[in-house]
Amino acid sequence: MTKLKAVLFDLDNTLVDFMRMKKLAVEVAVEHMMNAGLPGEKQTLIDEIFKIYRRTHIESQSALEELIITKLGYLDYKILSSGIIGYQRGRDLATYPYPKVIPTLKELLKMGLKIGTVSDAPAEQCYNRLARLHLLDWMDVVITYNDTGEYKPSPKPFLLALERLSLQPKEVLYVGDWPERDIVGAKTVGMWTVFARWGEHPDAKDTGADFDLTSVEQVVDIVKRVNG
């Protein structure tokens, strides 16, 4: 049987607790903007920012700006710059890998496997998060939205990862937390799949994945099992 030679991971809510990061970043941003004079009640302002994210994109870079203009009728740069500083402070505090991610990746590298990420995040944010997690140098391949212009479950990002690694689909295990995007996409190209139940969809049913794991360290056992 073909042996696994690489493990590829979804980034957000698989390696890093993205929603936790986002929540803290927005909360600290709102506190800083209120200190700088933004009127309103804290939780309402937080909810309004998330509404903007839902309407536009979770990676929107103009949500704070939009909120200020909605509240004041103009863009107050004192409030905006305070909000950006607050956002970055919250983000830096809360961007770290899930428990056991680091030892798991180390173990996979020690076993001689290649590792990488196939993410729907824009390149700038994806590389920024990987750098802040100190994972960038470990990655043999990083595929972002910018590489193909298509989101998972499109086969394109997965196929590009295979091409860059010069590997066959059955030599790759893909780990992700979103069944309709991660599992469907990786399966379509023929990779082995792991559903990351520790991510954003812990209650997902019928994920269709080959393996269903509750902790990232179990990935090592799966590799050992498949490779015999």
Residue 177 phi/psi, 5-degree rounding, is -105, 5
Q: Quote the tokens at residue 68.
A: 């200020």
Least distance to Mg ion from the beta carbon of 11, Å? 7
Least distance to Mg ion from the beta carbon of 63, Å? 20
- Single out the residue of 27, 48, 171, 177 in contact with Mg ion (rule: CB under 5 A): 177
Q: What is the DSSP letter of 56?
A: S
Nearest residue to Mg ion, scored by beta-carbon proximity: 13
Please, which residue, 171 or 177, has the CB nearer to Mg ion?
177
Q: Count of residues binding Mg ion (CB under 5 A)?
A: 5
Residue 76 phi/psi, 5-degree rounding, is -90, 115
Give how far the C-alpha of residue 111 lies from the chain's centroid of Cα atoms, to the nearest Å: 25
Please, which residue, 167 or 204, has the CB nearer to Mg ion?
204
Residue 39 phi/psi, 5-degree rounding, is -80, 155
Return left, alpha or beta for 63; rule: phi > 0 is left, psi -120 to 50 is alpha, else beta.
Answer: alpha
Three-state secondary structure call for residue 111: coil
* Under rule CB under 5 A, residue 207 binds Mg ion: no
Please, which residue, 10 or 65, has the CB nearer to Mg ion?
10
Quote the CA–CA distance of 158 and 190 in Å, as a whole number.
10
Q: Using CA atoms in the order 75, 42, 126, 172, what is the torsion angle rounded to 10 degrees?
A: -150
Least distance to Mg ion from the beta carbon of 60, Å? 18
- Single out the residue of 4, 7, 9, 13 in contact with Mg ion (rule: CB under 5 A): 13
Please, which residue, 77 or 151, has the CB nearer to Mg ion?
151
Q: What is the DSSP letter of 163?
A: H
- Single out the residue of 10, 65, 147, 171 in contact with Mg ion (rule: CB under 5 A): 10
Least distance to Mg ion from the beta carbon of 192, Å? 18
Cα dihedral sign, 51-57-60-65: negative
Least distance to Mg ion from the beta carbon of 139, Å? 16
* Under rule CB under 5 A, residue 12 binds Mg ion: yes
Residue 211 phi/psi, 5-degree rounding, is -135, 145
Provide the mask over 119-158, with x wherever binding to Mg ion is found by CB under 5 A and - wherever it is not.
----------------------------------------
Residues near Mg ion (CB under 5 A) are 10, 12-13, 177-178
